[in-house]
């Protein structure tokens, strides 16, 4: 009887589960669209959807609790190359034993094998992971190799076939080199040192969940930089924060620390770049604007950080704090960016769009990938837009272009404005006309800037919050209140 009651209870629980409701999937006719049940939870980093992951894939665990191949007691994902070299194969250890070099090598932390007897390399990519198309993989590999060639005199040229110095492949389990992979988690990749029987081979575990710049899986760029370090002759490093550390820890974009730089430069020399005078796009003297006493040309959230643009300069704010070295010339990050931009935003794939006059430019990180192109190719009937806002949740995100009392909605999936005619700022209740800039924060709130003030816009109620406008300088740059009395 007890069993029967339990079964009936379970059946009632199943029958009482809520049915799916697709009403929120219908496109609302009202602009701007209300964001229902917006997750007002701050994320640690901007989720850069470069791989067009579906929702379920993004929910997959980063790695299992422990490697399956027994190669490492720790449950942290890692490189499959053994940690430290034997005394016979280590250039580091042999130099330590030589009298003339003993003083020079004291305190050195990096460890090397012998390098190649060349500095110009060819490479080819055989396959890629299921999460990325081959073109994106090529871009990642090129960027990973550039991390090393930036600090030493190395060149890398991709070829489509034939014999090459470096061969890159994504493989599963046992794949012919007696170093099998273990599925999701555990060992992520391995590479072979110069002078070994498979020198130049770089293998990535096909079963990992490979991502780029979003911390949701295993970052391909970071792992690729590490493995290319091996194929160039670097062993694992014990130095904290080193790219050549054997254990994976997400950091985007990956940067060499001093230990990494000294190791690669020991093998291939230091790259000396001739200094040249900065290129100015105007004959006028460029005066650095005061963030406490200026308006701004554009503002955008880029890789989870806030960038404020004004008169060729940029301020960078991370976790609410202005970073050292800023303001700096915007061209320091984006070479070729027009002076005095009108608007900027980062799209869902992580590309940054800049607008000036009748043209726009698109950058992938700090690399220009297109532009200048006419805004008319996007279906915009006007030029000199004043602000651009990427706003919404997940796949419902749209771009809004503002000018005067009007705005247009742009569909990034179709790369075209939804309608050629304008709608008015009345739709954005409480927001004034002629705004200077706009951006969305981590919580989903839109911010609109005009002059030295800004308004915060509620994504659920679709109205400006009470208590606004407030002063930009006070809230973002810690400017004293007496500046605004």
Rounded Cα–Cα distance for residues 473 and 166 (Å) = 51
The whole-number pLDDT of residue 478 equals 87
Given a contact cutoff of 8 angstroms between Cβ atoms, the answer to whether 443 and 431 are in contact is no
Rounded Cα–Cα distance for residues 183 and 189 (Å) = 11
Q: What is the mean pLDDT of residues 388-409?
A: 86
Rounded Cα–Cα distance for residues 316 and 313 (Å) = 10
The CA distances from residue 210 to 81, 136, 146, 192, 337, in Å, are 19, 12, 20, 21, 31
Rounded Cα–Cα distance for residues 198 and 484 (Å) = 67
Q: Which SS3 state, helix, strand or coil, does residue 385 take?
A: coil
- pLDDT confidence tier of residue 251, bands split at 50, 70 and 90: confident
Distance, CA of 44 to chain centre: 13
429-479 residue pLDDT tens? 999 999 999 999 888 889 999 999 999 998 888 899 988 999 999 899 988
- Binding residues for Ca(2+), as ranges, are 165, 182-183, 201, 205, 208, 297, 342, 344, 388, 436
pLDDT at 267 over 60: yes
Given a contact cutoff of 8 angstroms between Cβ atoms, the answer to whether 225 and 147 are in contact is yes
**Apex 92 CA angle, 88 and 98, nearest 5:** 85
The whole-number pLDDT of residue 109 equals 65
The whole-number pLDDT of residue 34 equals 55
Q: What is the mean pLDDT of residues 10-34?
A: 40
Side-chain half-sphere exposure of 305, counting CA atoms within 13 A: 13
Which range among 73-87, 355-369, 390-404, 470-484 shows the weakest confidence by mean pLDDT? Answer: 73-87
Rounded Cα–Cα distance for residues 436 and 92 (Å) = 57
The residue among 139, 456, 114 whose CA lies nearest residue 266 is 114
Other CB atoms closer than 10 Å to residue 66's CB: what's the count?
14
- Binding residues for Zn(2+), as ranges, are 79, 175, 177, 190, 203, 226, 230, 236, 244
Q: Which SS3 state, helix, strand or coil, does residue 408 take?
A: strand
Q: Is the peptide bond before 147 cis (omega within 30 degrees of 0)?
A: no
The whole-number pLDDT of residue 348 equals 85
52-70 residue pLDDT tens? 333 333 334 333 333 333 3
Residue with tokens 């820890």: 249
327-383 residue pLDDT tens? 999 988 898 888 889 999 998 888 999 999 999 999 988 888 888 888 888 888 888
Q: What is the mean pLDDT of residues 296-305?
A: 92
pLDDT at 161 over 60: yes
Rounded Cα–Cα distance for residues 82 and 301 (Å) = 40
Residues 375-395 as b or e (16 or more Cβ within 10 Å = b): beebbbeeeebbbbbbbbeee
The whole-number pLDDT of residue 10 equals 39
Question: Is pLDDT larger for residue 287 or for residue 127?
Answer: 127
Locate the DSSP E strands across 264-332: 298-302, 305-310, 313-318, 321-322, 328-329
The CA distances from residue 167 to 130, 164, 362, 365, in Å, are 19, 7, 31, 26
Given a contact cutoff of 8 angstroms between Cβ atoms, the answer to whether 390 and 352 are in contact is no
The residue among 170, 184, 183, 168 whose CA lies nearest residue 228 is 168
Q: What is the mean pLDDT of residues 391-405?
A: 84
pLDDT at 277 over 50: no
pLDDT at 396 over 80: no
The CA distances from residue 113 to 55, 84, 186, in Å, are 43, 10, 25
Q: Which residues pair with 402 in a beta bridge?
A: 387, 407
The whole-number pLDDT of residue 181 equals 92
Rounded Cα–Cα distance for residues 308 and 314 (Å) = 5
Share of the chain above pLDDT 70, in %: 74
- pLDDT confidence tier of residue 75, bands split at 50, 70 and 90: low
- pLDDT confidence tier of residue 482, bands split at 50, 70 and 90: confident
Rounded Cα–Cα distance for residues 220 and 201 (Å) = 16
The whole-number pLDDT of residue 197 equals 87
Would you say the CATH fold of 291-484 matches that of 91-268? no
Which range among 36-40, 185-189, 329-333, 417-421 shows the weakest confidence by mean pLDDT? Answer: 36-40
The whole-number pLDDT of residue 80 equals 67
Would you call 346 a catalytic residue per the annotation?
no
pLDDT at 17 over 50: no
The CA distances from residue 187 to 57, 226, 264, 302, in Å, are 20, 13, 24, 31
pLDDT at 100 over 70: no
The whole-number pLDDT of residue 84 equals 56
- pLDDT confidence tier of residue 3, bands split at 50, 70 and 90: very low
The whole-number pLDDT of residue 314 equals 93
CATH value of 91-268 in 3.30.160.270, 3.40.390.10, 3.40.50.1370, 2.60.120.10: 3.40.390.10
* Tally of residues, the chain: 485
Mean pLDDT of all residues belonging to the chain? 77
- In this structure, the dihedral spanned by the alpha carbons of residues 451, 452, 458 and 464, taken in order and rounded to 10 degrees, is -70
Structure-token pair, residue 315: 């301020």
190-226 residue pLDDT tens? 999 999 889 999 999 999 999 987 778 899 999 999 9
The whole-number pLDDT of residue 395 equals 66
The residue among 333, 336, 352 whose CA lies nearest residue 344 is 352
The residue among 451, 441, 457 whose CA lies nearest residue 471 is 451
Domain spans, the chain: 91-268, 291-484
The whole-number pLDDT of residue 167 equals 96
Structure-token pair, residue 16: 């009482």
130-142 residue pLDDT tens? 999 999 999 999 9
Catalytic residue among 33, 53, 72, 227: 227
Query: Spelled out in words, what is the top-level CATH class assigned to the domain 291-484?
Result: mainly beta
Rounded Cα–Cα distance for residues 318 and 355 (Å) = 24
- pLDDT confidence tier of residue 13, bands split at 50, 70 and 90: very low
Rounded Cα–Cα distance for residues 298 and 317 (Å) = 14
The CA distances from residue 402 to 168, 279, 373, 387, in Å, are 45, 31, 19, 5
- pLDDT confidence tier of residue 15, bands split at 50, 70 and 90: very low
- Binding residues, as ranges, are 79, 165, 175, 177, 182-183, 190, 201, 203, 205, 208, 226, 230, 236, 244, 297, 342, 344, 388, 436
- pLDDT confidence tier of residue 2, bands split at 50, 70 and 90: very low
pLDDT at 36 over 80: no
The whole-number pLDDT of residue 39 equals 39
- pLDDT confidence tier of residue 298, bands split at 50, 70 and 90: very high
Q: Which SS3 state, helix, strand or coil, does residue 144 take?
A: helix
Q: Is the torsion defined by CA of 129, 135, 138, 143 positive or negative? A: negative
């Amino acid at each position: 009887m007890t069993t029967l009651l339990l079964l009936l209870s379970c059946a009632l629980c199943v029958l009482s589960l809520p049915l799916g409701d697709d009403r929120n999937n219908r496109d609302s006719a009202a602009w701007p669209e209300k964001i229902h049940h917006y997750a007002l939870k701050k994320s640690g980093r901007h989720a850069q959807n470069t791989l067009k992951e579906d929702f379920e894939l993004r929910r997959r665990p980063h790695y299992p609790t422990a490697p399956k191949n027994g190669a490492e007691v720790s449950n942290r994902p890692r490189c499959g190359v053994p940690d430290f070299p034997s005394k016979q194969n280590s250039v580091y250890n042999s130099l330590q034993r030589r009298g003339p070099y003993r003083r020079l090598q004291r305190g050195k932390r990096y460890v090397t094998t012998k390098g190649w007897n060349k500095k110009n390399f060819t490479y080819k990519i055989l396959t890629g992971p299921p999460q990325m198309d081959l073109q994106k993989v090529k871009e990642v590999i090129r960027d990973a190799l550039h991390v090393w060639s930036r600090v030493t005199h190395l060149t890398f040229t991709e070829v489509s076939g034939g014999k090459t110095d470096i061969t890159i492949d994504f493989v599963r389990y046992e794949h012919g080199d007696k170093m099998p992979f273990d599925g999701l988690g555990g060992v992520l990749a391995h590479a072979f040192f110069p002078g070994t029987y498979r020198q130049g081979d770089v293998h990535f575990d096909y079963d990992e969940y490979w991502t780029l710049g979003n911390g949701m899986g295993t970052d391909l760029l970071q792992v690729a930089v590490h493995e290319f370090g091996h194929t160039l002759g670097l062993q694992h490093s014990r130095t904290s924060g080193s790219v050549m550390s054997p254990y994976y820890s997400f950091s985007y974009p990956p940067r060499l620390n001093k230990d990494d730089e000294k190791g690669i430069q020991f093998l291939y020399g230091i790259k000396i770049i001739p200094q040249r005078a900065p290129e100015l796009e105007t004959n006028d003297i460029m005066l650095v604007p005061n963030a406490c006493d200026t308006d701004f040309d554009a503002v955008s959230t880029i890789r989870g950080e806030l960038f404020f643009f004004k008169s060729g300069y940029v301020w960078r704010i991370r976790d609410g704090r202005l970073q050292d070295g800023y303001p700096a010339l915007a061209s320091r990050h984006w070479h070729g960016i027009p002076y005095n931009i009108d608007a900027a935003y980062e799209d869902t794939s992580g590309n940054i769009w800049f607008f000036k006059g009748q043209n726009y430019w698109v950058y992938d990180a700090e690399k220009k990938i297109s532009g200048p192109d006419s805004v008319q190719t996007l279906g915009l009937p006007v030029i000199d837009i004043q602000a651009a806002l990427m706003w919404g949740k997940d796949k419902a995100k749209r771009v809004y272009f503002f000018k005067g009392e009007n705005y247009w909605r742009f569909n990034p999936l179709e790369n075209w404005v939804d309608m050629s005619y304008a709608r008015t700022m009345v739709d954005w209740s409480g927001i004034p006309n002629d705004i200077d800039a706009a951006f969305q924060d981590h919580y989903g709130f839109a911010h609109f800037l005009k002059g030295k003030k800004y308004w915060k816009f509620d994504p659920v109620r679709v109205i400006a919050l009470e208590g606004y406008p407030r002063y930009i300088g006070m809230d973002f740059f810690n400017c004293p209140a007496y500046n605004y009395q």
